[in-house]
């Protein structure tokens, strides 16, 4: 028969377990950040949309349209990243979301993304956002009035490659961990 723990140890452990609720305000803050990101997205659409329908002088060029689309995709990826962190973090560290498991709108990954999966989704999103930033920078090269900051471009490429290498290493570590015996 298992030895009964002292009441102080049991009370301490219960307090530690309840402390997970201190994370709830962080997730509420991420909801507010998602609202903020939505506001920026709407502002960008409101800025670019009228320009898309101007003909003749002052019209939007193909390069400008691509840059506008990349900006919107970038914001969308950042929003997806926030949702992944919000849902997965809450479910992994605070409490399960009490939703109908068979609800038609429930994403299939909800409730099944563990910390390892969350890491991979995060790094993949960061790599995609970094790639879009670099692509936007490269598209401006050679445009009139655009001064190429070679040091900034080099750092951008190095940082992006660091994100890519980190993602590959994280995936490799997860793969190795999945092949080892659990202790």
Kindly state the average pLDDT of the residues 109-130.
Answer: 77
Q: Note the pLDDT of residue 138.
A: 83
Report residue 4 CA to chain centroid gap: 44
Report pLDDT digits (tens) over 34-83: 999 999 999 999 999 988 888 888 788 888 888 899 889 989 988 988 98
User: Binning pLDDT at 50, 70 and 90, where does residue 103 land?
Assistant: low
- The two tokens of residue 137 are 């920078």
Res 111: pLDDT: 64
- pLDDT above 60 for 183: no
**SS3 labels along the chain:** CCCCCCHHHHHHHHHHHHHHHHHHHHHHHHHHHHHHHHHHHHHHHHHHHHHHCCCCCCCCCHHHHHHHHHHHHHHHHHHHHHHHHHHHHHHHHCCCCCCCCCCCCCCCCCCCCCHHHHHHHHHHHHHHHHHHHHHHHHHHCCCCCCCCCHHHHHHHHHHHHHHHHHHHHHHHHHHHHHHCCCC
Specify the higher pLDDT residue, 119 or 15: 15
Predicted confidence band of residue 33 (pLDDT cuts 50, 70, 90) = very high
Specify the long-range contacts of residues 16-25, CB closer than 8 Å, at least 24 apart. 20/93, 20/94, 20/95, 21/94, 23/89, 23/90, 23/93, 23/94, 24/90, 24/94
pLDDT reading at 173 higher than 70: yes
pLDDT of residue 176: 87
């Amino acid at each position: 028969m298992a030895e009964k723990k002292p009441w102080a140890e049991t009370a301490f452990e219960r307090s530690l377990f309840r402390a997970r609720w201190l994370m709830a305000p962080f997730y509420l803050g991420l909801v507010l950040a998602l609202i903020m990101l939505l506001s920026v997205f709407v502002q960008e659409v409101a800025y670019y949309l009228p320009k898309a329908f101007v003909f003749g002088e002052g019209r939007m060029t193909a390069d400008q349209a691509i840059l506008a689309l990349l900006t919107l995709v970038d914001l969308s990826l950042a929003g997806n990243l926030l949702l992944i962190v919000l849902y997965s973090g809450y479910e992994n560290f605070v409490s399960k979301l009490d939703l109908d498991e068979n609800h038609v709108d429930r994403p299939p990954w909800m409730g099944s993304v563990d910390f390892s999966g969350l890491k991979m989704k995060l790094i993949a999103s960061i790599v995609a956002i970094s790639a879009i930033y670099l692509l936007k920078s490269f598209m401006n090269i050679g445009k009139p009035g655009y001064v190429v900051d070679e040091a900034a471009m080099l750092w951008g490429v190095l940082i992006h490659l660091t994100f890519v290498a980190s993602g590959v290493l994280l995936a490799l570590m997860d793969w190795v961990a999945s092949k080892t015996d659990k202790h």
